[in-house]
């Protein structure tokens, strides 16, 4: 199946710093990627839809200035958590549906564990 990678897998940072998380589709192209957030023992919550070449679409209640999304190419989307705070600590997961495949078959990255001290 298609492979989605995320980098870094884990990051620990101090409050107030910004953290960039990369999501790459390794063997397929994706005009759209999705960013999810997951708290321990909880479900995945969709944060935003990343669109190649245009602005991201954010879900209700998600601050676009806090979570900056850039979809620079057909294989890369980045999520930057700006001025990170302890409450931003979470597991961030991206997903991508291949351009040429069945749209409903998303492939998820392995996730990035963010800990803000």
Partner 1 sequence: GQQLNQSPQSMFIQEGEDVSMNCTSSSIFNTWLWYKQEPGEGPVLLIALYKAGELTSNGRLTAQFGITRKDSFLNISASIPSDVGIYFCAGEINAGKSTFGDGTTLTVKP
- Interface with partner 1 (CB under 8 A), residue total 26
Phi and psi of 86, rounded to 5°?
-55, -35
Contact 6, 94 (CB under 8 A): yes
Nearer to partner 1, 57 or 82 (CB): 57
Token couple for 57: 């679409």
CB of 111 to partner 1, least distance (A): 5
CB of 18 to partner 1, least distance (A): 23
Calpha distance 38→45 (Å, rounded): 6
CB of 16 to partner 1, least distance (A): 27
Annotate 24-73 with three-state secondary structure. Answer: EECCCCCCEEEEEEECCCCCEEEEEEEECCCCCEECCCCCCCCEEEEEEE
Site mask for partner 1 (CB under 8 A), range 51-90, x = bound:
---------x------------------------------
Sole window of 13-21, 62-70, 79-87, 101-109 interacting with partner 1 (rule: CB under 8 A): 101-109
Sole window of 13-21, 64-72, 76-84, 109-117 interacting with partner 1 (rule: CB under 8 A): 109-117
């Amino acid at each position: 199946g298609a492979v989605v990678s995320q980098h870094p897998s884990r990051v620990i940072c101090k409050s107030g710093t910004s953290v960039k998380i990369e999501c790459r589709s390794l063997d397929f192209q994706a005009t759209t990627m999705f960013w999810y957030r997951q708290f321990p023992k909880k479900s995945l919550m969709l944060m935003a839809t990343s669109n190649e070449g245009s602005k991201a679409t954010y879900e209700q209640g998600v601050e676009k200035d806090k979570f900056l999304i850039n979809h620079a190419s057909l294989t890369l989307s980045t999520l930057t958590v700006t001025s990170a705070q302890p409450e931003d600590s979470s597991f961030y997961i991206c997903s991508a549906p291949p351009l040429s495949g069945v749209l409903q078959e998303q492939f998820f990255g392995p996730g990035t564990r963010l800990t803000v001290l």
